[in-house]
A and B are shown apart, each in its own frame.
Chain A
Amino acid sequence: MAKKVALLQGNQACAAGAMYAGCTFFAGYPITPSTEVAEELSISLPTIGGKFIQMEDEIAAMAAVIGASLTGAKSITATSGPGVSLKQELIGYACIAEVPCVIINVMRGGPSTGMPTGPGQSDVMQAMWGTHGDHAAIALVPSSVQEIFTETVRAFNLAEKYRMPVQVLFDEIVGHMRERIVFPEPGELEIINRAAPTDPPETYKPYDATKGQVPPLASFGSGYKFHVTGLNKAADGFPTTKAEYVDAEERRQVNKVNDHAAAIESNEEYLTEDAEVLVWAYGSTARSARYAVNELRKEGIKAGLFRPITLWPFPAKRTAELAKQCKAIVVSEMNLGQMIHEVERAAKGNCTVVGEFRVDGEPINPGQIAAKVKEVM
């Protein structure tokens, strides 16, 4: 039987991906350009007995998502711009309390209210460092409608596997454009559910590092009574200020991601084997970059594209290898230079790293990228 296909907006594909992943809870607050994610889930979640709630504000939405996840529900929220800033407080809570959840950030332009209907890619550093304190982060940056579906599924998988918040960031262009999507059959994509505790309720400890870097999380209402707090805590989940516990817990929570960076990493490379100049781009900008690379190749210029799909943890190893191979890397992003700092750090001076940026609400077009490549040749 032929697979189901449809012409969908990126935001709609995101909602469909959430449903495929087994999401049963959404809490959110209306904000452009992410609203269609909420609208779609308000339709589809109750059809499977799931819950949709529009909260009083962005912070409340993040709180409700964490609360729901603690009962075992796969939970998601979607937001943009100022909403992402407001959510930072509780993204940190989800980090330290180790509560799986997915945060969709449909990126718009500018700081503050900025450009609500215009695209941007200026939240990418915030995705890593937005919430206070040391913590790990996983952020995925799909660049097509189909990929928004699959990366939303992967975000749930990673959230459940590593017991943490996972962010999916796509710019307004990909969020609002329509493309054909081929729906995967049930079972076609891997679905990961959080590990169930192996200990009985009497001896269960929610942060017991002897159970592994990611200790199993019990659900409220499943027979387990335990304590969850945003304070630094010991293995039993209760607050502690003992230096050795605090240090060990903070390191474990960062290392549970860093030690598995290779498994979490996902990149696409296009014509990089013999590339002399590399375009390093993600999201919709990578689509412009690919177009530019094709045009440059027609002119005999050996250009290639590196497109991270996992942005955090940062693909440092592969970026470093390519920096040794290429004369120059052009980092193109719809901000005034954010990921370029990480690329420079990984390149370690082995090649020239230059940026091609744009923040006027228009996409970075292929001509701009091609011109920059020629400039550094």
Chain B
Amino acid sequence: MAYDYDKSIRPGKLPHIWCPGCGHGIVMKGLIRAMDTCGLDRKNTAIVSGIGCASRLPGYLDACTLHTAHGRAAAFATGVKMAKPEMTVICCGGDGDGTAIGGNHFIHACRRNIDMTYVIMNNFIYGMTGGQFSPCTPTGAKASTTPYGNPDPVFDISKLAIGAGATFVARTTAAHPREIDKLITMGIKHKGMAIIEVLDDCPTTYGRRNKFRSVVDMMKHLKANAVPAVAASKLTAEQLQGKFLTGILFQEERPEYCAQYAEVIKKAQA
């Protein structure tokens, strides 16, 4: 029997705005499955996003949804979670939104280890505005604002998250739909800041400028270059060239921010 996604989708809100072949829909379905697996009561689930194609995701889902300003998802979400810690808070958005204009909010949410799950869809480009390069666009790649090739170095979002203090960091790709919901599920269950980076495809503004002939080519690329982190130790540096590690990249237990603040309240009331 087909999986029932419809009960999670707001009536009348589809079709979505995403282009044919865009991976965001795969991520959304993964998120729905993860929320179902976790048994989340949508009345007590806030899904918060910034601006961009990926940030339109919350609008389709039947929950408490907050489509904020460019880059600000983590900061709005911090307010929601602090004020009502009993709510489950999920952030979603793109690479440019989360790591460029929202980079400061992203790293500080990681540092605080506030209990939320941030699904960051990294399609290497600013899609909504027509394909300008983002901090995640590969060096040398073509974008509408890098006509001679991208001179910028690249952010590794997962490494950034680990360095900033997130306590659950995982990566997968849009070509691994089952792993998406598995990792998001683990992220939601994790008490603290969970970053789930999903490498994603933008055929319209990235693929066609960078010699990917079709969506299938892009998906094949994601699949072919994904190396499970658990297998990486057996590979040489040469073999890992151009690959990206997937699966759980980092996990630790550290005091969660709202729990820490509950201690502040106890002291203040003593």
Contact = CB atoms under 8 A, between A and B. Distances in A.
On whether A and B touch (CB less than 8 Å), the answer reads yes
Interface of A: 24-25, 27, 43, 46-47, 49, 51, 53, 55-57, 59-61, 63-73, 75, 89-90, 93, 201, 220-221, 223-231, 238-239
A51 B83 CA distance: 7
B268 A46 contact: yes
A67 B269 contact: no
Contacts of B67: 227-231
B65 to A, nearest CB: 5
B82 A25 contact: yes
A55 B261 contact: no
B182 interface: no
Contacts of A224: 43, 64
A43 B77 CA distance: 24
Smallest CB-CB A-B distances: 7 pairs? A67-B79, A64-B79, A63-B75, A46-B268, A68-B83, A56-B108, A60-B75
Given A56-B104, A230-B68, A225 B63 contact: yes
Contacts of A239: 59
B68 A93 contact: yes
A59 B108 CA distance: 13
Interface in B54-112: 58-59, 62-69, 72, 75-84, 86-87, 104-105, 107-108
Secondary structure class of chain B's binding surface, majority of residues: helix
Given A55-B78, A221-B43, A231-B67, 5 more contacts: A27-B79, A46-B261, A63-B75, A221-B46, A228-B66
Q: Which of A46, A57, A65 has the most chain B CB atoms inside 10 A of its CB?
A: A46
A73 B83 contact: yes
Nearest to B263: A46
A47 B46 CA distance: 27
B43 A64 contact: no
A142 B104 CA distance: 34
Contacts of A223: 43
Interface residues of B, number: 40
Interface of B: 10, 13, 42-44, 46, 48, 58-59, 62-69, 72, 75-84, 86-87, 104-105, 107-108, 261, 264-265, 267-269
Nearest to A233: B67
A227 B62 CA distance: 9
A221 B59 CA distance: 17
A221 B69 contact: no
21 contacts: A27-B79, A46-B269, A56-B107, A60-B72, A60-B75, A60-B108, A63-B75, A63-B79, A63-B105, A64-B78, A67-B78, A68-B82, A71-B83, A90-B69, A220-B46, A220-B80, A227-B59, A227-B65, A227-B67, A228-B66, A229-B67
B122 to A, nearest CB: 22
Nearest to A231: B67
Contacts of B63: 225
A61 B84 CA distance: 17
Contacts of A231: 67
